[in-house]
Amino acid sequence: QALEDQYSPSHWSPRLGRDTIIQAHIATMAAATQRAQASVQTALHIPYGYGDREKLDIYFPPDPSETFPVLVYIHGGYWQCLSKEESGFAAPPLVSQGVGVVAVGYDIAPKGHMDAMVLQVRRSIAFLVERYSRIRGVYLCGHSAGAHLAAMVLSTDWTEYGVVPDIKGAVLVSGVYDLEPILHTYVNDELNMTREVAQRNSPVWCIAPAASVAVACEVLVAVAQHDSPEFHRQSQEYGQALRAAGWSVSMLDLSGVDHFDIIEKLSEESYVLTQVEGELPSSL
């Protein structure tokens, strides 16, 4: 039961009850995404594959005829809920600074299994940079399960994809980087991972040496004050493992937020993570 609680983010929020916070989170993200789509130039449901969820939503900066950096957002939901439909919430403040935002869809459990999800997200990045030649620099952002998938993108052998995306930075928010503990919780009821699947899809165990990365990539590993001790441990150990492999890593423990509003606040221009993401393209 103790492990179940550690991997139940709703158990740790001081704001709302366990039964209400997840629904409130989904509603908040969906409403912010609707506002973004009403105010920003978009191209929605762009297929990068043949599956129903293998689609991208793209939020363009004011002058997309120029070259522009993109922030690729990979949604959370413990690999079994949420979608790209709630993932455009961060677009307005970034688009106003000339950064395009791309929300990635992928097959969630039980239809999707872990190997397939990792493959889909990697293919979406390859498709994006091949399809849009004006992109100059890719920045990844993932929350929770999405942080796990973004971290797996960092370990990709791109020779298999025929393209090497210019990934310049990653913002990993309240993620899970070692999937083995998940095997022993309710989360795996839908995922049905074996130990072998968990091990080969655990970012902490498949970190590429920084020297093998074509360009310098800045990684920010962020965690919420009101995330569980296990989420804090996972973030700390993954950040340390990246550093040991030669990556440039910053760690950020954000006070006053929980597992959910740590990412919801990306719709606010004054929020520290929003400012970090806006500064990444100009600082690298």
Task: Establish if 237 belongs to a structural domain.
Answer: yes
Task: Establish if 220 belongs to a structural domain.
Answer: yes
Per-residue DSSP letters for 78-97?
Answer: TTTS--GGG--TTHHHHHTT
Task: Establish if 102 belongs to a structural domain.
Answer: yes
Task: Establish if 194 belongs to a structural domain.
Answer: yes
> Under a CB-based contact definition with an 8 Å cutoff, are residues 265 and 28 in contact?
no
For the entire predicted model, the pTM comes to 0.95
Q: What residues make up the domain containing 8?
A: 1-267
Q: Which amino acid is at 149?
A: L
> Under a CB-based contact definition with an 8 Å cutoff, are residues 105 and 128 in contact?
no
Task: Establish if 222 belongs to a structural domain.
Answer: yes
Task: Establish if 273 belongs to a structural domain.
Answer: no
Split into its structural domains, the chain has a count of 1
Residues marked active site are found at 144, 227, 259
- Given this model, what pLDDT does residue 217 score? 87
- Given this model, what pLDDT does residue 20 score? 93
From first CA to last CA, the distance across the chain in angstroms is 44
For residue 86, give Cα distances in angstroms to 74, 117, 166, 278: 11, 18, 26, 20
User: Could you tell me the CATH number of the domain that includes residue 222?
Assistant: 3.40.50.1820
Q: What is the mean pLDDT of each run of 10 residues along the chain (284 residues)?
A: 92 88 94 96 96 96 84 97 95 92 97 97 97 92 98 93 92 97 95 98 91 73 96 98 93 95 84 71 52
Task: Establish if 280 belongs to a structural domain.
Answer: no
